[in-house]
Amino acid sequence: MAGLTSNGAVALVVVALLSLVVPSVRSAVDYGVSAARSYNSGWLPAKATWYGQPNGAGPDDNGGACGFKNVNRYPLSAMTSCGNEPLFQGGAGCGTCYQIRCTRTNNPACSGQTKTVVITDMNYYPVAKYHFDLSGTAFGALAMPGRNDQLRHAGIIDMQFRRVPCNFAGMKLGFYVLRGANPNYLPVLVQYANRDGTVVKMDLMRSTNGRPTGRWEPMYRSWGSVWRCDSRDALLGPLSLRVTSESGKTLVANNVIPNGWKGDTSYSSNIQFS
């Protein structure tokens, strides 16, 4: 979660004041994960604030605690949000999609129209049971035409949300090997997972003399949407990755990371959840 700037500073002041009134919001409420994660819970109440630039995506290059890259570009298109723990879930909620809305009973500038946002960061200062700290773009998108700035001036509003399947049209699963990787340490960021939006299990198959071993080795969530493999023996490509979604569907990206792979490099696949 980045610091608020310009008009968004109002929200930070409100959060600070609320922290004086409610010493521990985290302990004062029941953080129900199951309702937030369900596709069948209907509209749930939440609070919304915003951060970053008024028309920005929050972080310029990545998704903060999730690690996503280029969140200002398609398919995320700056429609992103920090989530408090029931939404972020220690990184397991990264990539989850939610419809959000606010009505004129919440704020006179609200349009009531639904917009879809993706969880890309962690909200460390929740002011409600469910708290979306939206990008400036996403917060303004809740407003009636021409009243985006007026709504952002509110700083904090009541809103409603519900989980929906992600639909990143035209995108395949992307695998980005992070900077700092080496033959014995492979950190992989998974992006653009359709439907559930997040991967809950990931395995790797290495090669010997250019041929797959046929053995799957578990990877472990390092942080956010980054999965890692640590190995005493060099991880020689091509490497295959097996990913499992929250709903239990498993896909295999065969030989997706080539021999001679390196860090700070994106590798595209031909697979996608449907």
Q: Is 20's pLDDT higher than 50?
A: no
Q: Where are the domains of the chain?
A: 6-163, 174-268
Which pLDDT value is given to residue 217? Answer: 97
Q: The whole model's pTM is what?
A: 0.87
Question: Taking the CB of residue 248, how many other CB atoms lie within 10 A of it?
Answer: 9
Do the first three CATH levels of 6-163 and 174-268 match, i.e. the same topology? no
Tokens standing for residue 250? 């498993």
Q: Homologous superfamily of 6-163 in CATH?
A: RlpA-like domain (2.40.40.10)
DSSP assigned state of 143: B
Q: Any bridge partners for residue 110, and if so which?
A: 143
pLDDT tens-place string over residues 106-148: 999 999 999 999 999 999 888 999 999 999 999 999 999 999 9
Length of the chain equals: 274
Say which CATH architecture domain 174-268 belongs to: Sandwich (2.60)
Tokens standing for residue 193? 């997972």
- 253's enclosing H/E stretch is strand 250-257
Q: Is 8's pLDDT higher than 50?
A: no
pLDDT tens-place string over residues 157-189: 999 999 999 999 999 999 999 999 999 999 999
The rounded radius of gyration (Å) of the Cα atoms in the chain is 20
pLDDT tens-place string over residues 77-93: 999 999 999 999 999 99
DSSP letters along 143-161, please? Answer: BPTT-HHHHHHH-SEEEEE
Q: Any bridge partners for residue 228, and if so which?
A: 187, 220
Which pLDDT value is given to residue 33? Answer: 86
